[in-house]
Amino acid sequence: MEQEIEQAKVSRRRFLEASSAMLVAAAGVQVAQGQEKQIRSADHHLPNESQPVQNNDPLDKENPSSVWAPPTDSGGQPPFKYSFSLSHKRQEEGGWTRQVTVRDLPISKKMAGVQMRLVTGGIRELHWHVGAEWALMLYGNARITAVDQEGRSHVSDVTKGDLWIFPGGIPHSIQGLGPDGCEFLLVFNDGNFNEFDTFLLTDWMTHTPPEVLAKNFGVPESTFDKVPNKELFIFERSLPRPLAEEQKQAEAGTGRVPHSFDFKPAEMKPTKVSRGGEVKIIDQKIWPATNIAAAIVTLKPGGLRELHWHPNEDEWQYYVEGKGRMTVFSAGGHARTMDFQEGDVGYIDKSVPHYIENTGDTDLTFIEVFPTPFYEDISLAEWLAHTPSRLVDQHIQVGEDFLAKIPKKEMVVTPE
């Protein structure tokens, strides 16, 4: 009897072992089948790619890399894009303005941007702010004025493509000229900047007791009877007098600022030119007045701002024209790809690698702005080209022949 019981136990154990083996084998078949099953398609026709609920189709078409992310994207990289089109626009008699700050784009901790339109004669009133103001003229013509710590003056006319810089604390103004005023981009080295909360001449004077104003200037209190009782901000007036006349009047007694607050990129040679496009790098090395570095990048269709990073500061981007995409890779295997077009802002943290690719059929132009006087970058290709090829090949197994052909100098824009 005991022998029969033992035989039954052995048979049961063998049955369970065989059953387990069959289950493992069946699971293996299912895994293998799952690995072979297609989960992505070029036209997104697969059942697992369907979107049966109505979507915001125009927005989806502008952001294909978010709707259908490349398989190389991974992890929880936060958004690094915001469009000025989503920003509140403040309208005044002399024009309008809107901004993108850290309140809109949380990753944008060190820089903020403003778009502004001034009609012919429209004035952004005399004011100043704590942070520095870097500007790019996008359209039309304007007159800018400023006075430095020693009372030296700057008065000049700027046009499309020109830049200006007003260091923090420097009082200044902008006025739209003919024939149709202007539109421009402002970038500030403070992510928390607020264009609607700056130090304004009218605002200050109306909040200062009249007897103090009279004592300060040695005139009767009645002199200030017509000071506006609230800020002007953006208002319309007659066009300024001839440039030479206003320069002479403003410079009387103290002269002109030693380094011009404006700069004309159109008059400089590109820093780098290739079949893929060109780059102009503008920092304190060639523009002594600036404490904000920048690059103006133009990519031909299919061109690539090569894989690189910036070791000294964060990067704030503005897309002037065209279409492109950018992948940002951060530590821990996180990566995300996003699409950009005119009016979009991009932001990349210091030392985080990325690229920008022209995905349209026209030129892509964008600017890179940095809250530092000097531009710095490190490219992937240059890093690999100047590291022992044996060591690099042991990492990525591409062959030393390939590594030997990488250009020894940074490409910046490809193809060469």
321 is in an annotated binding site: no
Would you say 133 is a known binding-site residue? yes
What is the DSSP-derived secondary structure letter of residue 186?
Answer: E
CA–CA distance, 363 with 294 (Å, rounded to integer): 19
> Is 45 one of the annotated binding-site residues?
no
Give the C-alpha separation, 280 to 268, whole Å: 8
Strands 172-176, 122-128: pairing kind: antiparallel
The rounded distance, in Å, linking the Cα atoms of 101 and 107 is: 9
Q: What is the 3-state secondary structure (H, E, C) of 268-329?
A: CCCCEEECCEEEEEECCCCCCCCCCEEEEEEECCCCEEEEEECCCCCEEEEEEECEEEEEEE
Is 386 annotated to bind ligand? Answer: no
Helices (H), 54-196: 57-62, 64-67
Distance between CA 98 and CA 202 in Å, rounded?
21
Which residue type sits at 124?
A: R
Whether 88 has a binding-site annotation, put simply, is no
Q: Do residues 299 and 280 touch, judged by C-beta distance below 8 A?
A: no
φ/ψ region of 166 (left if φ > 0, alpha if ψ in -120 to 50, else beta) reads: beta
Judge whether 315 is annotated as a binding position: yes
Inter-residue contact 362 to 313 (CB < 8 Å)? no
Identify the CA nearest to 324 among candidates 299, 352, 306, 294: 299
Distances (CA, A) of 335 to 6, 270, 315: 60, 31, 17
Cα(188)–Cα(169) distance, integer angstroms: 12
Alpha helices in 50-156 (DSSP H): 57-62, 64-67
Residue from 368, 376, 400, 416 carrying the catalytic annotation: 368
Is 368 known to be catalytic?
Answer: yes
Task: Tell me how far apart the alpha carbons of residues 142 and 164 are, in angstroms, rounded to a whole number.
Answer: 11
Residues near 12 by beta carbon (within 8 Å), at least 6 away in sequence: none
First-last CA distance in the chain: 88
Annotation: binding site: 127, 129, 133, 172, 308, 310, 315, 354
Q: Which residues are catalytic?
A: 368
Give the residue numbers of the binding site for Mn(2+).
127, 129, 133, 172, 308, 310, 315, 354
